[in-house]
Amino acid sequence: MLVGFEDKSAYALCTFAFSKGPGEEPVVFAGRTEGRIVAPKGDNQFGWDPIFAPDGFGGDTYATMDVEVKNGISHRYRALDKLRAWLMTAYDGH
């Protein structure tokens, strides 16, 4: 797929937005996981998981990682964690 490209760096990005209601400006939360595109490895249970290898995991792809490890470092987790932290602060922990 990327044979013709030297740079295989990539990132996974997830964005969530929260609005208190009509007329309220949404607050945006982005989660990003740095990595690179690799030859497919692992079970293709979800989209591009077999070709995305997050940095710092020895070449494991999302598809070869234990689901708990993946969920703890994923772009979705990072965005939702920012939203969670904001909600805890905005609503005083209630």
Residue 19's CATH number: 3.90.950.10
Q: What is the pLDDT of residue 3?
A: 78
**Residue 94 pLDDT greater than 60, yes or no:** no
pLDDT (tens digit, 9 = 90+) per residue, 21-80? 999 999 999 999 999 999 999 987 788 999 999 999 999 999 999 989 999 999 999 999
How many domains are contained in the chain? Answer: 1
Count Cα neighbours of 28 within 13 Å in the Cβ-side half-sphere: 4
Distance in angstroms (rounded) separating the CA atoms of residues 3 and 39: 10
* 58 within domain boundaries: yes
* 4 within domain boundaries: no
Which residue has better confidence, 47 or 9? Answer: 9
- Give the confidence band of 91 by pLDDT, cuts at 50, 70, 90: confident
pTM of the model: 0.82
Q: What is the pLDDT of residue 62?
A: 95
* 3 within domain boundaries: no
